[in-house]
Structure formats: structure tokens, C-alpha cells
């Protein structure tokens, strides 16, 4: 994991995240978040898990494993999304740094993954539990069937009393190393999205989100974010490192995905020895991001975040307002253009006249059919196509607005 760099906002108006809370409010929220969590997904990055020389920090793994087992002992579904395979491989092979070409990267990841999972298995064993290795690529979640299979596998691992150790399948995930999540922060958010009532904890190498650069003396950590908007995203900028991937902006994007699922998220200090114990005690550790009041569930959650988008439908301003403000279905009359060649039942992006994404949804018609009926009233569909199986192009039950673009 990279050392995050952040840039403070110079807006004259006080941003929402800087508004003072009523004393005690944050503490009560944190306690409620922990109390309501039926599942806990913890993500830990390379820089937390490795020593300065790049070798795997076994003591850090042992401390985290002990705390993970205590969370599991509370009855919560516990999952660790762990980076470190490439770093462990680099150290094991005594390489000067992370390889830059694809083939060596894949090989190093595969070699390092064995050390990583063995470290967790040995640590869990002292607490009477097992580690279950789960390697994923983005394609595993893009299909609805794959999405459900991964979810069922994670539930099965939990039922057997083991703790899943999830990682990007670096040895086959081509885009990640040079079809995929982009980094383990967002992978963790997608994993949390598979579960109900989950708390996502992202362990970083700094205390949490700051209102300025963490190294500046006048910068302060932010304890609570109620709305993760562009002002908050503007606090972070990324840089990269020869071993790890993903900076603070990546973590904020992951938090944005998780809160859209309805999952509170905490970005906390991974090098604090008792960080998970403190978080699960409801203590003020790191930055807590609260979810929206209205969240998406079930199939609509998959549509909104995980599904593969293979087409695009452009709509006029009136249709955009109807979808965003009234929760309406998408009718053919509001469609102005179709992009891509897709079959019925595909997940498509819906964009407004300004080019911004309005939402995503399952299309009731093929792209060629939509081209014929766009701009027409629903009662004309039968005449234009020779049949009218649906009155709307996308039904509101299969439509998600205000999606988080990954």
C-alpha cells in the first residue's frame, strides 16, 4: 500500500465534513456501527504488512490474526482482504524491487502468495481457526451467477468456522498487475457488498483522513464523514511505490462504494497494534464514513456496482429528472441514442444530455430494438417491433441511480 498524500481544500465556505458534531455523537455512532455489524471485512495493505526492507512482518500478521479471531469469536462473519503477495514474493526472491513486466509480476505474485497464506494459517491455528484462501478477479463478480457463487463460498467458509483471506488473483489479473478491481481497497468494498450489515475496515499507514497533508503540523485527522462527496475526495491525491498500489484516494473510492451499499467504513491506522480491538470497542480510531440513509440491496446492488456494463443509453433532460427525482422506469420516449450492440437483459449505463451517468439498469430490449423505438410512446412499440413484451425499456426495479463509477 502506498504512502498517501493529501491536499487541503482552500474553499472559502466551510465544507460539510468540517461541521462540528454535538459532543458524544461520534462515539454513539461508532458504538452503534459496531453493534449492528453482522459481518466485518478488514483490508490490510502491503505497507502495513511488510517491514522497511520489504519482507513480510510476521509479528504484524500474528497481531492482526489474533484480533480477527476475536471478531470471529463474537459470531460475526469475518473476512480479511490482504495485500502483500507481490511484496512477499519480492522479499522471498531477494529482488531489488517490484518487476515492471507482466510475466515476472505474475510469477512473483504466485510465489509470494504461498508465504502470505501460510503466515495467516499458522497464526489462526493458535486460536483454533483455519485460513481459507480466496483469489478473485473482477470477472468473478461481473456475472450475476459468479457474484452469487462467490457470496455462497464466503458464507460456507464462515459456516465452517474459518476466516477467508481474499486477494486479487494477481497471477491471472492482467490489468491489476500492470480484468480487475484496480486495487485491494476496492476489492474489499466489493466483497463487503456481497454481505448484509457489514462493516468495512481499511487499515492504512496513517491514522485516517486528514483535513490537510498528514505531514503538515496544522493538519488534523477527521473523525467522522457523514457524506462522502467531491469535497472529501478532493482531500486526497495519490502517488505510487515500487512494491504497493493504492493511495488515500483509492481508499476514499472504496469507502464510497461501501457506503453506497449501506456499509459504514473506517479508515484506520494499520500499524497500531490493537487497532481492530479498539475499533470493535467503539473507540475513536481513524475516520468513520457513514452510509446513505437509502441504500441498494439484492440484485440492484449487483447492477449498481459489480455488473459488467456493455452498452449505453442516452436520455433527454425530462427522462433524467424522472429517473433521478421520481424513481420512474425508463420509457422509450425519453431515449435519444443507443451505443453498443447488446442483447436483452444486459446491464447498460444510462447517461443524461450532459454526458453524466444517471444510473445503470437491466435492459428489457436489444440495442437494435431500442434504436427503432427510441423517442416513441410506449403504445407505439408493438407497431414498430411487431411485439411489445414490455412497456418500459428499463423497469425501475432493475434500475439504480446515483451509482458509484468504479
What is the pLDDT of the chain when averaged over all its residues? 85
Q: Give the per-residue pLDDT at 12.
A: 39
pLDDT in tens, 16-63: 554 455 557 888 999 999 999 999 999 998 889 888 777 788 899 999
Query: Quick count: other Cβ atoms within 10 Å of Cβ 366?
Result: 18
pLDDT in tens, 318-363: 999 999 999 999 999 999 999 999 999 999 999 999 999 999 999 9
From CA 355, how far away is CA 336, in angstroms rounded? Answer: 12
From CA 385, how far away is CA 368, in angstroms rounded? Answer: 10
From CA 319, how far away is CA 401, in angstroms rounded? Answer: 12
pLDDT in tens, 143-192: 888 888 999 999 999 999 999 999 887 555 554 444 445 578 989 999 99
- Does 204 belong to an annotated binding site? yes
- Does 308 belong to an annotated binding site? no
Q: Judging by beta carbons within 10 Å of its beta carbon (0-12, 13-18, 19+), is residue 100 exposed, middle or buried?
A: exposed
From CA 394, how far away is CA 359, in angstroms rounded? Answer: 11
Angle of CA points 177, 183, 189, to nearest 5°:
150
244 — pLDDT class (breaks 50, 70, 90): very low
From CA 225, how far away is CA 232, in angstroms rounded? Answer: 8
State the DSSP code for 22.
Answer: P
- Does 170 belong to an annotated binding site? yes
Q: What is the pTM (predicted TM-score) of this model? A: 0.80
pLDDT in tens, 104-157: 888 888 898 888 999 999 999 999 999 999 988 877 888 888 888 999 999 999
State the DSSP code for 16.
Answer: G
From CA 42, how far away is CA 188, in angstroms rounded? Answer: 7
Q: What is the dihedral of CA 250, 253, 257, 262, to 10 degrees?
A: 110
- Does 239 belong to an annotated binding site? no
Question: Which set of grid coordinates corresponds to residue 402?
Answer: 446515483
State the DSSP code for 50.
Answer: B
State the DSSP code for 334.
Answer: G
- Decide if 347 contacts 310 (C-beta within 8 A): yes
The helix-helix angle for 184-193 and 248-260 (nearest 10°) equals 10
- Decide if 135 contacts 168 (C-beta within 8 A): yes
The string of DSSP letters for 138-188 reads THHHHSHHHHHHHHHHHHHHHHTT-EEEEEE-TTT-HHHH----SSHHHHH
Does residue 69 have a pLDDT over 90? Answer: yes
217 — pLDDT class (breaks 50, 70, 90): confident
Average pLDDT rounded to a whole number, residues 376-393 = 94
236 — pLDDT class (breaks 50, 70, 90): confident
- Does 184 belong to an annotated binding site? yes
- Decide if 296 contacts 261 (C-beta within 8 A): yes
Domains of the chain, start order = 25-291 (3.40.1160.10), 298-401 (2.30.130.10)
pLDDT above 90: percentage of residues in the chain: 53
Amino acid at each position: 500500500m502506498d504512502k498517501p498524500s493529501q491536499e487541503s481544500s482552500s474553499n472559502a465556505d466551510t465544507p460539510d465534513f468540517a461541521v462540528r458534531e454535538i459532543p458524544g455523537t461520534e462515539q454513539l455512532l461508532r458504538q452503534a456501527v459496531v453493534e449492528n455489524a453482522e459481518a466485518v471485512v478488514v483490508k490490510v495493505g502491503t505497507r502495513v504488512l511488510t517491514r522497511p526492507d520489504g519482507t513480510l512482518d510476521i509479528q504484524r500478521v500474528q497481531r492482526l490474526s489474533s484480533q480477527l479471531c476475536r471478531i470471529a469469536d463474537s459470531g460475526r462473519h469475518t473476512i480479511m482482504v490482504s495485500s502483500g503477495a507481490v511484496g512477499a514474493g519480492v522479499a522471498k526472491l531477494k529482488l531489488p524491487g517490484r518487476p515492471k513486466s507482466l510475466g515476472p509480476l505474475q510469477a512473483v505474485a504466485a510465489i509470494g502468495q504461498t508465504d502470505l497464506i501460510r503466515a495467516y494459517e499458522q497464526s489462526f491455528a493458535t486460536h483454533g481457526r483455519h485460513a481459507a484462501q480466496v483469489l478473485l478477479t473482477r470477472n468473478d463478480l461481473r456475472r450475476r451467477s459468479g457474484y452469487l457463487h462467490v457470496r455462497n463460498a464466503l458464507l460456507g467458509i464462515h459456516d465452517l468456522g474459518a476466516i477467508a483471506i481474499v486477494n486479487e488473483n494477481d497471477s491471472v489479473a492482467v490489468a491489476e498487475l500492470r480484468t480487475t478491481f484496480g486495487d485491494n481497497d476496492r476489492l474489499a468494498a466489493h466483497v463487503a457488498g456481497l454481505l448484509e450489515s457489514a462493516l468495512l475496515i481499511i487499515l492504512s499507514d496513517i491514522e485516517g483522513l486528514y483535513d490537510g497533508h498528514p505531514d503538515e503540523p496544522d493538519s488534523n485527522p477527521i473523525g467522522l464523514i457523514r457524506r462522502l462527496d467531491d469535497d472529501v475526495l478532493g482531500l486526497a491525491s495519490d502517488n505510487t511505490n515500487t512494491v504497493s498500489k493504492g493511495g488515500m484516494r483509492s481508499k476514499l473510492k472504496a469507502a464510497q462504494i461501501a457506503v453506497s451499499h449501506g456499509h459504514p467504513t473506517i479508515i484506520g491506522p494499520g500499524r497500531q497494534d490493537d487497532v481492530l480491538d479498539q475499533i470493535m470497542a467503539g473507540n475513536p480510531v481513524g475516520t468513520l464514513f457513514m452510509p446513505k440513509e437509502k441504500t441498494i440491496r439484492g440484485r440492484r446492488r449487483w447492477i449498481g456496482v459489480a455488473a459488467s456494463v456493455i452498452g449505453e443509453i442516452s436520455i433527454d433532460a425530462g427522462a433524467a429528472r424522472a429517473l433521478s427525482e421520481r424513481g420512474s422506469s425508463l420509457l422509450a420516449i425519453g431515449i435519444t441514442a443507443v451505443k453498443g450492440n447488446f442483447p436483452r437483459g444486459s446491464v447498460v449505463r444510462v447517461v443524461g444530455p450532459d454526458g453524466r451517468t444517471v444510473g445503470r439498469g437491466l435492459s428489457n430490449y436489444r440495442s437494435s430494438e431500442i434504436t427503432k423505438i427510441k423517442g416513441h410512446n410506449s403504445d407505439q412499440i408493438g407497431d414498430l417491433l411487431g411485439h411489445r413484451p414490455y412497456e418500459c425499456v428499463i423497469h425501475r426495479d432493475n434500475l439504480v441511480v446515483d451509482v458509484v463509477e468504479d
